[in-house]
Structure 1
């Protein structure tokens, strides 16, 4: 860790939180690190808050491949991406200083709109109607037509994102060591006239998912990437595939993904 000494803290500013972070800043600098004001100057990014703040930190720093991310919760926030707690910040500093530091690598997924603009997500992407109307989409896997979906929308989740919105729609929780992504339905219409698979399905790292939006008034659906929503006009095609990018996070020893799932849900 000798070559990783510049630390950027990402958090929602408030007087109360600034007061709680003051001893953290002091201890971090006494431990040989420098706190920088710009994320571009950092090689360690610490998010303070729950998983939502962690996702924002990754997005704010443009899914950097050159730094380590550290997630720290304040109090009762969900923390499937966050190994550390503010009231036990010394654990975080020890982990950052450890030469045998343990690092997780989370896959990033690419989303390309109309073959032009590409975005990324770490947790999940959702495609939903922007108007009060069923959205109709043709679903292709590796250019082969799979189904015509009618319903509220689709969720595409990474393994780490599988515990969020995806899980609430009865999607599976996926081990993040499996390089894949999962597709789940939102209120699909299934009757004698219309038919979808009716369950989640999982695609491996080599697959490409393409979604063609039927132009029937839903020409610019809402696309949610992690915890941000985008309304893009005239969406015809959405192509989704696993990126070569990996987000590196500092982890506590003996704190696996399944330990965190158990702690959160059981």
Structure 2
């Protein structure tokens, strides 16, 4: 098996990465930083985002595994004290045969950004947000090529189902199970008056829908896409839709999404 390790740049994650690579080598696994079959992310959910964007052109051929070095993350199935067990299972050392993981696929967002000069295309695993630099963001929002609302406020967050537990939740969006192919548009501190009227709640769009966000005036805008920040001075529009591609996670044991939600936000000791 060909594998690669993406790790957070701290002492603990560096040490764990070296340890895992040594155990993997002893078990006959091949380190491959160009065309791996499995990418092991050691760190936090942010580390998984880095791994996703590093191999974004190979999503059809790669599965990801998360090892969390802190509290359990939404993209991590394994804790640091289970590293040897993970290497055994991936290599088949423990049972003298390689266990084929269950491949779980999560939806992504396609993002088309049009400026006065060019068109660029991106994908997001968690979300992208749009905010004004010098003041409030003013934008027209269309759904399926029909005007829906005029927005004015701090910004707009568009998230995937797996990203619904991140920034989207903090601005009042709903949590969506990653088996549902959808995207969610949530307002960030909208201003409602006679000129600007918004729905006031998040919108969940199915796979066959899309939404367009138009910059309604000359304004400096910053777009944050997962861990990336993209300044925009001449934005015309952004189209977002559910991508036809998905990210694959290699699951060697079950860990239901709602269990992750409970552990992250409610706690394991609540009856």
1:11 to 1, 7, 24: 7
TM-score, with structure 1 as normaliser = 0.90
Indicate if the aligned counterparts of 1:55 and 1:227 stay in contact, CA closer than 8 A: yes
Question: Where in structure 2 are the equivalents of 1:26-105 lying within 5 Å?
Answer: 26-36=22-32, 38=33, 40-62=34-56, 64-65=58-59, 66-76=61-71, 78-97=72-91, 98-105=98-105
Q: Is the 8 A contact 1:109 1:120 kept in 2?
A: yes
Bigger CA drift: 226-235 or 180-189? 226-235
User: Are 2:117 and 1:121 equivalent residues in the alignment?
Assistant: no
Higher strand share: 2
Cα distance between partner residues in 2 of 1:89 and 1:139: 46
- Which segment is superposed worse, 169-178 or 192-201? 192-201
1:231 aligns with 231
Give me the whole-angstrom Cα distance separating, in 2, the residues matched to 1:20 and 1:79: 17
Instruction: Report if the CA contact (8 A) 1:84-1:252 is conserved.
Output: no
Pair 1:63–1:136, CA change in 2 (3 A): same
Measure how far apart 1:191 and its partner are: 2.9
Q: Which moved more, 1:227-236 or 1:139-148?
A: 227-236
Give the Cα separation in 2 of the matches to 1:263 and 1:91: 22
Aligned to 2:112: 112
TM-score (norm 2): 0.89
CA RMSD of aligned residues (A): 1.7
Residue 26 of structure 1: CA displacement? 2.0
Seen in structure 2, the aligned counterparts of structure 1 residues 233 and 194 have a Cα distance that, compared at 3 Å, is closer
Q: Name the CA distance, whole Å, in 1 between partners of 2:144 and 2:101.
A: 38
In structure 1, the gaps of 5 or more residues are: none
The CA distance in 2 between the partners of 1:207 and 1:16, in whole Å, is 43
Conserved in 1, the CA contact under 8 Å of 2:27 and 2:88? no
2-side partners of 1:184 and 1:31: how far apart? 47
The separation in 2 between residues aligned to 1:57 and 1:142, in whole angstroms, is 32
Structure 2 residue runs of 5 or longer lacking an equivalent are 92-97, 267-271
Per-residue Cα deviation, 1:77-136 (whole angstroms, up to 9, x for no partner): x510111122211342244344331121011111111172101101001010021x1111
Q: Does the aligned pair in 2 maintain the 1:64–1:247 contact within 8 Å? A: no
Q: Secondary structure at the match of 1:254?
A: coil
CA distance in 1, matches of 2:90, 2:207: 31
Q: CA distance change for structure 1 residues 17 and 153 in 2, over 3 Å: closer, same or farther?
A: closer
Q: State the aligned residue count.
A: 256
